[in-house]
Structure formats: C-alpha cells, structure tokens
Amino acid sequence: MLDEYTHQPRIAYFSMEIALRNEIPTYSGGLGVLAGDTLRSATDLDLPLVAVSLVSRAGYFRQEIDAHGRQVEHPAMWDPRDWARPLNAKIAVTIEGRAVWIGAWLYEHESHLGGRQPVLLLDTDLDENLAEDREITHYLYGGDDVYRFKQEIVLGVGGARLLRALDFEILQYHMNEGHSALLGLELLRRHEYPPENVRPGESPYDLPRVRELCNFTTHTPVEAGHDRFSYDLVQRVLNASIDLAAIKRLAGEDKLNMTRLALNLSEYVNGVAKRHAEVSNRMFPGYRVHAITNGVHPFTWTSEPFRKLYDHHLPSWCHEPEQLVRADCCLSEAVIQEAHQQAKLALIERVRARAGASLDPGLPILGFARRMTAYKRPDLLFTDLERLQAIARKHPFQIVLAGKAHPHDEGGKRLIEQLHALMRQLEGVVPIAFLPDYDMDNARALVAGADVWLNTPLRPYEASGTSGMKAAFNGVPSLSILDGWWIEGCIEGVTGWAIGNDTGADDGDAAALYDKLEQVVLPLYYDPDRGGWARVMKGAISKSASYFNSSRMMRRYAAEAYLR
Ligand SMILES: *Cc1c(COP(=O)(O)O)cnc(C)c1O
C-alpha cells in the first residue's frame, strides 16, 4: 500500500496538528492550517514529503455559543475510517514503564494539480493498550501536562519509529513547533557511537549528524506557547535510554524545554516572519533563527468566484502564484468587484443560517476572526464605544467576528462573553454578528466575504498571522497593527492600511485604529468613484497574494533548509 511512497527519500514533517480538510478536526488554528498548507504546496510542487501527526479522534472541539454569549465546547468526534486507511504496522514506545502500542492511519492528500502525498495519523486506540493509553491520541491539546507529554512521546518517538517500521527513507526531519522535539532523542539513540569509541566525559551521541538531519520552525514569542516539563514528570513518564544528564544539556537544566531541545537538535531553525525571527534571535541568544515568512495555499483559500477569475485570466496561478503580480493590469475593476460581491453574499447567507443575524450587502463588513486570546485583542475595536458609534453614524459599517478560545483559557472565554455583551450594547448602531465554530470552511467564507480584514494583536506577539494572506487571495485588504507578516506585506494605501507604527507604545493603538477607519478606510469605501477601492483590492492580490503563499514558502524551505 505504501510502495508508491517509500521508493524515494522523503522529508518527514512532524506536527501535533494538521488541517487536512474541514471534515477532519485534527487542528485548532493557525499552526495546523500552516501544516496543512505545507503539505498541500509540497504536493503541488512534487516535493516528496510524509506528514506525521496524531489521529485526534475527538478533535479539538466544536464551539457553540449559549444564550448568555458563552462558549460551550463539544467533542468533535470523527471516524478515521471515513477518510483514511489503517496501516498494518505497529510499534511500541515505553510510557510509565509499560509498552504503549502505536498504529497509524494513512490519509492521502491529492492535489488538484495531480500528485499525492501520505499523511500518517498516529493512533494508540488499540486493543493491546490499557484504557488510559488508548486515549492518548484522542484529544488535541486536551488534558494536563502528563497527558500532553505522553502525546509528545507518541508523536516524536512513536512517529520516528513508525516511519522506520514502514520502510520510509527520510532525507530530512522537520519539526513544526517544539511538540515533536522528542523525535530528536530517538535519532540520537540511532546515532550512538560504540562504547569502546567513547572516551570518558565525551558525548556518546553523534550530535552533529542528528543536527544535520533536523529542521525546526518556532511559531510564537508567547511564553505559554513553549512546552516545559518538570524532570520529575519526565523521569516518571519517559523511559529514555538516553541518560538524563545528556537530556538536560540539550533541553535545559531545571525543566525539559521542548523549544530548547528542538533548537539544540536542529541545524536549520526558522521563525515565521522577519520580525518574528529577530524576536526569536533575542529570545534564544546563541542560535541562528532564519526567516522564511509563512504563506497560504492558493487554491485552498481562494473563493470560487476568484478561482474562476484567475483560471480565466491567469491560468497557471495555482502552480505559480507569482503570476498574480499581473492581477493589477489584467483584471478589470468591474470583474473584481463582481467576484467579491458574490463572496460577500455567500458570507451573509452563512451568517444568516448559522448566527441568525442579517447583514446588509450594501454596507462594508469588517471581518475579525482569530483565536480568542488576550494578545490578539479582539476588544481593541471596542475600546471607546462613543467614538465607534460616532464613526458608524458618519460611515455605516458592520462587523463579523469569529474565534474559539482554548477550553483552559479563561481570559479568552471571557473575551467571547464580553464581545457578545458589546454586540447587544451596539445594536441598532453597529450591526455585529458572531459566527460560531471558526473552522476551515468558516474561515474561507469570512476572508473572502469581508470588505476589510482587521487584525489588532499586541506587538510583537503575532509571530506571522496568516488569515490576512488568505484575505489577499480574495482581493480583501487588511487593516492591521504592524506585526508579523504585515510589517512585510503592508504598503500603505496600496495593499491595505497600517494601524499605528511598529515602534511606539501600544496605548495609542485604539485611537490610531479609529483615525484610520474614520479618515481613510471608510471614506475610500464610500467614495462615489469606486475605482480607488478597487485599486486597493487589486493591490492586495498583485502585491500580497503573489508573495505570501505557501508555494514560495515551500520552495524556500526546499532550497534553504532541506537541501542545505
Ligand atoms: C488561517 C486560520 C487561522 C490562523 O489565522 P491567524 O491570522 O494566524 O490568526 C486560525 N484558524 C483558522 C480556522 C484558520 O483558517
């Protein structure tokens, strides 16, 4: 069944989450979407890759909003048999002193350009295992530290062993975030010198060889985004045939820091945008963090009306999204506006059906959808309600919001509740809808149907951000704080607009947002000469989408990381 894939060496791409398709809830947000887009573009480019992730049978969660505006979480069960095939290989890892068996499902991604790539979804729900071990691969980001550490053993150590058992020849390993860094310990074990060749006090492992094999992408400057495990826990759970002293040298003396482990085991380390690489270089002195800026998969994130438009005018846009640089010359304002209006009506219909809210196709829509957590500041737009209402009376607009909060993020959940209270408060002046259950399909509708894509993170915590890139593929300009990709993507008034600058204090951000909305963005939208607005839509396509795509990203990973 795997011959088709094992006859040539591959890049092994490890990720705790991966967004394969809307029906498979094995992702929580940006990290998983990026993993999916990585796989999709590698397939378009015929770059041989094998993705390794967990089967996450209970998914992340499905979000419902109750009558009080509070998030309710439901398991998002899926049946791997509907989308994948069981592989008849099994390996074991030792967890808490007992063998935990790991099998896998094969999901095959097919590119609409032709070509296929394998994804291995690791599964511990096997008869051989104790009930508690069968659940290790059930809940994405569920449970406590111990549960998370077990998942990381399954992903890193289990994934590496399974690839070997299945006869994959691996050219390079790529860790998407530190969750899979234990794979490096497995590789060290494979590259151990015979004891008679090791002099006392020297490392018994061929660390340089392992580093040659490994690449690591770090994704966030937020402290909580970097897993740390106490060595008590590590000793209890992990049966490392690697001695603790060696692990501590690589992963930190007081706690096992997965980011540090990945940094020390990888020759090539990447941040996800230029600014993020600079910030990471400061966070991790002594390491060199490169900057291949993220991108999004062209076909996946382009709405049907724009796909048709590009197919007609720029037929090779999917294989070579650089072609989109020509969009500003070869697409007329009328066809762009017509395609956008179709996408906008589709969003309005979705919001009506799923949120029971009616929006007006004649008014501009500000779209804001992202993980609901403090640094993303979904409440920045609502800092001064008087001012917001005054702007809306002058230049009417409406807002669509969406986003999940992690079940343990109390602050994030409170934000969702607060947003719902604000929606009621602003009723009649600023129509606002909250589209529940932000997932791939809702994201696709939102980034295409909004007129302006809003992003207001607290600098420098937005490592890259990718939803604004998706918007650009649909001719939707961004209005954003200068952080992450937008520092590279923003050409003021051409691809969208900046809120404030990228150096000063944050306390002026709300005022800067109101000023820009009131004095620049909304007046341009309402300008009787619609040409000005259409030019910005074209700018988003020709200058942002042509560059911030995962095709460019994967060519760079191939040239600069995998084949270095
Ligand atoms: C693209 C996407 C994200 C990430 O978007 P950001 O701009 O990085 O916040 C998160 N969730 C879903 C469902 C997405 O499609």
pLDDT digits (tens, 9 = 90+) for 365-388: 999 999 999 999 999 999 999 999
Q: Which residue, judged by its Cα, is nearest atom 12 of ligand 1?
A: 29
| pLDDT tens digits along 69-93 | 999 999 999 999 999 999 999 999 9
Residue 30 alpha carbon to ligand 1 centre in Å? 4
Q: Which residue, judged by its Cα, is nearest atom 5 of ligand 1?
A: 467
Residue 435 alpha carbon to ligand 1 centre in Å? 14
Q: How confident is the model at residue 553 (pLDDT cuts 50, 70, 90)?
A: very high
- The continuous run of DSSP H or E covering 103 comes out as strand 98-110
Average pLDDT over residues 473-502: 97
Average pLDDT over residues 348-360: 97
| pLDDT tens digits along 433-464 | 999 999 999 999 999 999 999 999 999 999 99
Using alpha carbons, select from 274, 272, 283, 234 the residue that is nearest to residue 255. 234
| pLDDT tens digits along 145-165 | 999 999 999 999 999 999 999
- The continuous run of DSSP H or E covering 344 comes out as helix 333-355
Average pLDDT over residues 347-363: 97
The closest-lying atom of ligand 1 relative to the alpha carbon of residue 468 is 7
Burial of 557 (0-12, 13-18, 19+ CB in 10 A): buried
Residue 206 alpha carbon to ligand 1 centre in Å? 39
Whether pLDDT at 174 is above 90:
yes
| pLDDT tens digits along 271-289 | 999 999 999 999 999 999 9
What is the distance between the alpha carbons of residues 214 and 237, in angstroms, rounded to a whole number?
25
Residue 370 alpha carbon to ligand 1 centre in Å? 6
The closest-lying atom of ligand 1 relative to the alpha carbon of residue 442 is 13
Whether pLDDT at 137 is above 90:
yes
Ligand 1 within 6 A of CB of 438: yes
Q: Quick one: pLDDT at residue 262?
A: 97
Ligand 1 within 6 A of CB of 163: no
Burial of 486 (0-12, 13-18, 19+ CB in 10 A): buried
Q: Which residue, judged by its Cα, is nearest atom 9 of ligand 1?
A: 370
Using alpha carbons, select from 385, 375, 540 the residue that is nearest to residue 469. 540
What is the distance between the alpha carbons of residues 542 and 323, in angstroms, rounded to a whole number?
8
| pLDDT tens digits along 224-267 | 789 999 999 999 999 767 788 889 999 999 999 999 999 999 99
Tell which one of 61, 406, 466 to mutate to probe ligand 1, the residue whose CB is within 8 A of the most ligand atoms.
Answer: 466
Average pLDDT over residues 200-213: 92
Average pLDDT over residues 214-218: 98
- The continuous run of DSSP H or E covering 64 comes out as strand 62-65
Please, what is the average pLDDT of the chain? Answer: 96
Q: Quick one: pLDDT at residue 1?
A: 81
Q: Quick one: pLDDT at residue 223?
A: 76
Residue 81 alpha carbon to ligand 1 centre in Å? 27
Whether pLDDT at 539 is above 90:
yes
Ligand 1 within 6 A of CB of 467: yes
| pLDDT tens digits along 83-125 | 999 999 999 999 999 999 999 999 999 999 999 999 999 999 9
Q: Quick one: pLDDT at residue 222?
A: 83
Using alpha carbons, select from 413, 509, 519, 406 the residue that is nearest to residue 454. 509
What is the distance between the alpha carbons of residues 532 and 233, in angstroms, rounded to a whole number?
60
| pLDDT tens digits along 21-56 | 999 999 999 999 999 999 999 999 999 999 999 999
The closest-lying atom of ligand 1 relative to the alpha carbon of residue 34 is 1
The closest-lying atom of ligand 1 relative to the alpha carbon of residue 444 is 15
Using alpha carbons, select from 42, 21, 22, 177 the residue that is nearest to residue 550. 42
Q: Which residue, judged by its Cα, is nearest atom 3 of ligand 1?
A: 30
Ligand 1 within 6 A of CB of 533: no
Q: Cβ atoms within 10 A of the Cβ of 370, count?
A: 24
Residue 18 alpha carbon to ligand 1 centre in Å? 12
Residue 467 alpha carbon to ligand 1 centre in Å? 5
**Mind listing the domains of the chain with CATH numbers?**
3-63+80-294+553-562 (3.40.50.2000), 298-548 (3.40.50.2000)
The closest-lying atom of ligand 1 relative to the alpha carbon of residue 443 is 15
- The continuous run of DSSP H or E covering 49 comes out as strand 49-54
Query: In this structure, are strands 452-455 and 478-481 parallel, antiparallel, or unpaired?
Result: parallel
Average pLDDT over residues 342-365: 98
What's at 108, amino acid-wise?
Answer: E
Burial of 30 (0-12, 13-18, 19+ CB in 10 A): buried
What is the distance between the alpha carbons of residues 263 and 216, in angstroms, rounded to a whole number?
7
Q: Quick one: pLDDT at residue 239?
A: 79
Residue 58 alpha carbon to ligand 1 centre in Å? 20
Q: Which residue, judged by its Cα, is nearest atom 8 of ligand 1?
A: 465
Answering whether pTM is above 0.85, one says yes
Residue 70 alpha carbon to ligand 1 centre in Å? 21
Q: How far is C-alpha 11 from the geometric centre of its chain's CA atoms?
A: 19
Structure tokens at 502: 């990228």
Ligand 1 within 6 A of CB of 33: yes
Ligand 1 within 6 A of CB of 370: yes
Residue 245 alpha carbon to ligand 1 centre in Å? 39
Whether pLDDT at 318 is above 90:
yes
Decide if 25 contacts 531 (C-beta within 8 A): no
Decide if 195 contacts 171 (C-beta within 8 A): no
Decide if 303 contacts 346 (C-beta within 8 A): yes
Ligand 1 within 6 A of CB of 439: yes
Q: Which residue, judged by its Cα, is nearest atom 13 of ligand 1?
A: 439
Residue 187 alpha carbon to ligand 1 centre in Å? 32
